[in-house]
Amino acid sequence: MTVEDLVPLSGDSILMAWQYVEDKLIVTLELSETDATVSIAIKSKWFAIDVPNHSSSDAFRTCYIEIAKLKDSLAETNGFYVPAKEFVYVVSRKWTT
């Protein structure tokens, strides 16, 4: 299964676990559409997350996957993409693919 195949199946998925090891983020999801469990690995030297691993609350673990062009959504400073300064802009921004 490719990431492109995963995107339409990922709505309201449950984040089962995540780990960051050797410059890879490994995310395990239970897909709501198929009840299948999948793991994806994302290679990155930079990683930040604000969700407790193995949280018992579905509110914190419900998620979906979306492919977005960062250059269309985020500002760039010194060669790095940076988040919007206003949180309202972050939650109201419609991502484009």
Pair (25, 57) in one structural domain: yes
Residue 13, domain extent: 1-65
Instruction: For the chain, give the longest Cα–Cα distance.
Output: 42
| pLDDT the model gives residue 37 | 92
**What is the total count of domains within the chain?**
2
Q: What is the structure's pLDDT at 18? A: 86
Question: Angle 41-47-53 (CA atoms, 0-180°, nearest 5)?
Answer: 75
Q: How far apart are CA 1 and CA 93, in angstroms?
A: 29
Residues 86, 75 share a domain: yes
**Tens-binned pLDDT, residue by residue, of the chain (97 aa):** 788 888 888 888 888 888 888 999 898 999 887 888 999 898 888 776 666 665 667 777 788 788 777 777 788 888 887 877 765 555 555 544 4
Are 59 and 79 within one domain? Answer: no
Identify whether residues 15 and 38 lie together within a single domain. yes
The runs of H, that is alpha helices, within the chain are 3-6, 58-61, 70-73, 87-92
Burial tier of 1 (Cβ tally within 10 Å: 0-12, 13-18, 19+): exposed
Q: Pairing mode, if any, of strands 80-82 and 75-77?
A: antiparallel
